Amino acid sequence: MASCHDVQVDLRVDHDPNRILLMGNPNVGKSVFFSQLTGLDVISSNFVGTTVTYTEGTIELGGEKYTLIDVPGTYSLEATSEAEEVAVQFVSSNPRAILCVLDATNLERNIKLGLEIQRYNVPIVYALNMVDVAKRHGLEIDIEKLSKELGAPVVPTVAVKGEGFDELKKELTKLVNRPGASPRFTGSELAAWRQAKAIVGRVRKQASGELSFLDRLGEAMLRPWPGIPIALLVILLSLGAIVGGGKALRAALLLPLVNDILVPFFKNLFASFIPEGTLLNVLIGEFGIFVIGFEWIIALILPYVFLFYVVFSFLEDSGFLPRLSVLFDGIMRKMGVQGGSMITILLGYGCAVPAIIGSRTATTKKERIMISAAVCFAVPCISQTGALISLFASFSPILLVLMLLLSFVIMFTVSFILGRVLKGEVDPMVIEVPNLLMPNPKAYAKKLMLRMKGFLVDAEGPMLVSIIIAATLKETGLLELIAVYLEPIVSGWLGLPKDAVVALILGVVRREMAVAPLLAIEGLTALQAFVGGTVALLYLPCLSVFGILAKEFNARFAVAIGLATTTTAFLVAGIINQVAQLLV
């Protein structure tokens, strides 16, 4: 656990006098408040010297612009964890006001934090969120009385439905224009607990409620029956939506766009002023930058990435994923990690980079290494999955199922071995299960937009680099030269055509690029496709993953992962080829 001296002062925190802090416990819907109150100019940053991320955006109140900072959710301000230390830094930085979100269904511990914030003498507005859920649970809260008890305005809200925000903005405007005296609580943490309990006793009454369909479904999904079948059905439907939807988007929209419009346009354009020769081939030849660039990036990768984030963000915001973690904790423990890590690993099916960053939520270093290694070894990112789907499409869907099974076996083996080899412990799961709800459309759209923006900025650059390398190697004949040296491994041990060398070279830059060149090889057999897919699945993580591994751990760890994954890729794929050759 970090001491309070570990977190340095982040100078960016003090840069703007018009700062308003958005604070509250985890899972109270703060991100929905943030999306509802701010515009599109959202910045996500790391608090200096920590692994804690916060988001800031602009909020307009009475014609004036303010910076709204979404402070990481905390249960207290006792600075016993990194997130709490960051929260203390923010609240001590003399902000203009604080918007503290209280969860109406868990009033006592939310009020306790609300009281602790009062120690810092900053004007506060409280938003009492999820009043609809509280009502359905038979909890009646006297808002006027609560406001008097807390000495500050309390606005009831239902953030996911966008209710209460006009009133909240009015109260915030009043607060920043005429701050007045701030409410003060000066007691200890224990005193805050006692006062919170007393306040709840005075403002809350138990009445009869009626659970909604989603409340009952949320309850049911926590029980093994029918929770596990529902969870498996949701996973299958999600996969179906991503794979089927991606294929449909590709066939109906993106392939015609690329093959009938973009590629012919650039072919005609370059052919009109560049003479025939190597340069023209590099640009618009069979492997030309303006041919495979559009084909691979737009038609092959983009539809699957987009649909993965559509589905994953929905499952994340609806409260489905924590239920999945609870149901499958027993199995995850057999793997050596705890159920909560399942969310991080699932995130790896989108991209390994956010999954490795997300592994910060692991409570021990051992578990963090285990999750990151499992993701690097055997979790294909969505771009690579898209490429694998396209590769196996001309053979049989059984190949895709076998590939997924292989990835599970390798992931399980890697975690199992590391669990025994690495020193230290993996803590048991402690996870709060949020209410099951329909995501707020605005917050959902903003999250989707930020994720796609992140993908386009972070991934398209390296993808373009690998496409330029591929085009240059193929069209200049350099590939033939390199292939001679790698032939014993590629053709001898793996049984692949010598053109597959390009996949091994490009796979270093991006994971899907270890698959995409195989699509262009004519006469590939089902065994070769599976062996090539296996190499790609287990091969080196891409350059971005190397970068993030070196940053989050160290360069030695990144190199070790690179060596171990490459060795495993050649070993496992080679064994599959050799055994199949013997059997067939």
Partner 1 sequence: MENAVVEKKMTYRLGGPVLLKVDSSEIAVGKEFAEKIMVRR
Our CB check for partner 1 shows the closer of 167 and 215 to be 215
| 7 contacts 18 by C-beta, under 8 angstroms | no
| 89 contacts 63 by C-beta, under 8 angstroms | no
Which residues, in sequence order, are bridge partners of residue 68?
20, 57
Longest dimension (CA), the chain: 85
E-assigned strand segments in 137-212: 139-141, 154-157, 204-206
| Smallest distance, partner 1 to C-beta of residue 339, A | 7
Instruction: For helices 302-318 and 224-249, give the axis angle rounded to 10 degrees.
Output: 150
| Smallest distance, partner 1 to C-beta of residue 231, A | 13
Our CB check for partner 1 shows the closer of 148 and 197 to be 197
| Smallest distance, partner 1 to C-beta of residue 117, A | 18
Our CB check for partner 1 shows the closer of 77 and 490 to be 77
d(CA 231, CA 328): 10
Our CB check for partner 1 shows the closer of 193 and 294 to be 193
Going from the C-alpha of 581 to that of each of 31, 405, 524, 575, the distances in angstroms are: 55, 21, 15, 10
β-pairing, 97-103 with 19-24?
parallel
| 45 contacts 53 by C-beta, under 8 angstroms | yes
Q: Which residues bind partner 1 (CB under 8 A)?
A: 105-109, 112, 134, 137, 139, 190, 193-194, 197, 222-224, 322, 325-327, 329-331, 333-334, 338-339, 427-433
Our CB check for partner 1 shows the closer of 202 and 334 to be 334
| Smallest distance, partner 1 to C-beta of residue 357, A | 23
Q: Provide the CB-side half-sphere exposure for 21 (13 A, CA).
A: 27
| Smallest distance, partner 1 to C-beta of residue 13, A | 30
| Smallest distance, partner 1 to C-beta of residue 556, A | 31
| Smallest distance, partner 1 to C-beta of residue 375, A | 21
d(CA 477, CA 464): 20
Our CB check for partner 1 shows the closer of 145 and 197 to be 197
d(CA 390, CA 520): 11
Q: Give residues with Cβ within 8 angstroms of 572, minimum separation 6.
A: 406, 410, 534, 538
d(CA 84, CA 91): 10
For 295-323, give the DSSP string. Answer: IIIIIIIHHHHHHHHHHHHHHHHHTHHHH
Our CB check for partner 1 shows the closer of 69 and 326 to be 326
Our CB check for partner 1 shows the closer of 223 and 551 to be 223
| Smallest distance, partner 1 to C-beta of residue 200, A | 9
Our CB check for partner 1 shows the closer of 23 and 337 to be 337
- Amino acid identity of residue 21, one-letter, is L
| 539 contacts 377 by C-beta, under 8 angstroms | no
| Smallest distance, partner 1 to C-beta of residue 134, A | 8
Our CB check for partner 1 shows the closer of 326 and 518 to be 326
| Smallest distance, partner 1 to C-beta of residue 321, A | 13
Q: Give residues with Cβ within 8 angstroms of 15, minimum separation 6.
A: none
- Amino acid identity of residue 540, one-letter, is L
d(CA 241, CA 202): 49
Our CB check for partner 1 shows the closer of 137 and 170 to be 137
Locate 426 and state its tokens.
């993996």
Our CB check for partner 1 shows the closer of 227 and 354 to be 227
| 333 contacts 340 by C-beta, under 8 angstroms | no
| 173 contacts 60 by C-beta, under 8 angstroms | no
| Smallest distance, partner 1 to C-beta of residue 429, A | 4
| Smallest distance, partner 1 to C-beta of residue 196, A | 9
Going from the C-alpha of 510 to that of each of 231, 346, 521, 544, the distances in angstroms are: 31, 19, 19, 8
